[in-house]
Structure 1
């Protein structure tokens, strides 16, 4: 496997344009696997599972701010939300719904950007279309069904409980600020559900390589269950 930063020119040809001619718009990014992801026109074949795991592990919540030595990755957040689903609905065995939960922020890993919620309205319609295109590509790639209104309610609760808990235990917001400033109407959790699964120190952000490994393992586990049942 080639190392990070080593440029692969085997599939590219250098071309020269006449003076004054504008270069075509580049909206693609080269991923760890070597694949190219066109952010403006993504397809379900543009990335490998490991690319997604690495992207989510290197994309940070809360603007990258943290009271710990490391910021909190979207990969770790996604696993926390999935763990909450398992705690709240232990009687439901639905790997497809679990996979949708795990991948609820997958577009952020492909884009490499988790925009804080209060900024999103200022980014406008173009940003919304960009993220929706990535979400569609993810749904097609992994066979995710759209959320129904009944399904979305517990998902949003898990997502917001996770956010309230992260705000207090990871970033350093007070419980009062969670309610009055962040406007999250849920109490932060006392215990970190991920320590029961992975061990370690409660609420401590994982290093990117570890977050990517754990996310990828869960993605493969759920995908494998779907393949076995399909």
Structure 2
């Protein structure tokens, strides 16, 4: 039986496994491209172009900010509230369809949402913040139904069951040459979304968050590989990897002459009074860089440089 797989090749060259999504599988530009090509309202519009989820996301953020000042991570959470729709393959199911998609789709969406949350360090919703978000989201839907798709005000209330009245003024700044409420071309939507994402990312240092996630994932992967080693090899190590940051030490060791560089988790060696490994003497590193199953590498601290990751 062939193993299940569901890969997407992204424009950056990254590969996203929908069955096991990793937080570092996509770039910000990949996400912006996906959202700019994912369409609201089933792709229908009274304009020449449909409305992208990228433009909708920016509108929700603008509407939410009208309710009061947002912390940078809360603003980022608003901007990325529909991020999984780009990562799942550009699907934004209309509301009546969602209950019919089944638990399998719901599980896939939850896995993607977890990857997004970890990638960008998004805080969980509180009851209050989620209520404010949903109001902004519903207000955006009322605006779009009336100004973009062409529903009447009566039908918005009776058929769509949205009680909020459409606003008269577009909450988004008008790009040059565009009319109020007009759906943006994909490249423009991508660029403006990416610009806003970058501004928020610079404020909260998303790069540092991603580095932490990479280290956590690497430690977890090394611990799993170590557990599959023969028992005789594992017994040689006094520190068994746990896969947890704070308990394991991930290092990059480079020979002084530059002839060899290895990354792995320290599994044996002397410790100082604080409990940290002492790298001026011999120590043992478990690495999977050279062999798929992993190997134990004995390092001489006197002849190498050690960087703790």
Interval containing the TM-score (normalised by the shorter chain): 0.7 to 0.9
Q: Look up the SS of the partner of 2:21 in the other structure.
A: coil
Match of 1:155 among 112, 129, 133: 133
Q: Are the equivalent residues in 1 in contact too, given 2:117–2:123 (CA < 8 A)? A: yes
TM-score of the superposed pair, with normalisation by structure 1? 0.86
Structure 2 equivalent of residue 7 of structure 1: none
Matched, 1:109 2:86: yes
Q: Are the equivalent residues in 2 in contact too, given 1:170–1:205 (CA < 8 A)? A: yes
Query: In proportion to residue count, which structure has more helix?
Result: 1
Structure exhibiting the larger radius of gyration computed from Cα positions: 2
Number of corresponding residues: 205
Deviation at 1:122, TM superposition (A): 0.5
Deviation at 1:26, TM superposition (A): 3.0
Q: Are the equivalent residues in 1 in contact too, given 2:38–2:53 (CA < 8 A)? A: yes
Structure 1 equivalent of residue 246 of structure 2: none
Q: Are the equivalent residues in 1 in contact too, given 2:5–2:19 (CA < 8 A)? A: no
Structure 1 equivalent of residue 10 of structure 2: 31
TM-score of the superposed pair, with normalisation by structure 2? 0.64
Structure 2 equivalent of residue 130 of structure 1: 108
Structure 2 equivalent of residue 219 of structure 1: 197
Deviation at 1:23, TM superposition (A): 4.8
Q: Are the equivalent residues in 2 in contact too, given 1:195–1:201 (CA < 8 A)? A: no
Q: Are the equivalent residues in 2 in contact too, given 1:165–1:189 (CA < 8 A)? A: yes
Q: RMSD value over aligned CA atoms?
A: 1.5
Q: Look up the SS of the partner of 1:193 in the other structure.
A: coil
Deviations 1:9-57 (A, max 9, x none): xxxxxxxxxxxxx654330100010100011111101100000000000
Structure 2 equivalent of residue 96 of structure 1: 73
Higher relative contact order (CA 8 A, sep 6+): 1
Query: In proportion to residue count, which structure has more strand?
Result: 2
Structure 2: runs of 5 or more not aligned: 209-309
Structure 2 equivalent of residue 190 of structure 1: 168
